[in-house]
Amino acid sequence: MSQNVDGIWTIPGGTLQLNESVEECITRIVFENIGINIKALKLFGVYSGQELINRVDERYHTVAIGYLCTEYEGEITPESNQGIEAGFFRFNQ
């Protein structure tokens, strides 16, 4: 997770690019946001519905696809314009 300048902790996320798999997108976004190279992913869950409606443009809504990653390389280094801090957390935190 990374913390933005508003002090809110968020999970790295972004937009799927044309011809990019979900796994490729996650790998790219995590590297861009916190500098970690993902080596293995396992599907955790797919989430959608009324609570994920985009508040900026209500013609669209988000589909959140969560993955668990236990194999990675690199050190956490949040991109300066993405967050001010990043870290790993247990599920109950």
Q: What CA–CA distances, in Å, run from 46 to 1, 3, 17, 52, 86?
A: 18, 23, 18, 12, 24
Strand pairing report for 85-86 and 9-10? unpaired
pLDDT digits (tens, 9 = 90+) for 49-61: 777 666 666 667 7
Which pLDDT value is given to residue 11?
77
Judge whether residue 81 has pLDDT over 70: no
**Domains of the chain, each with CATH number or no CATH:** 2-86 (3.90.79.10)
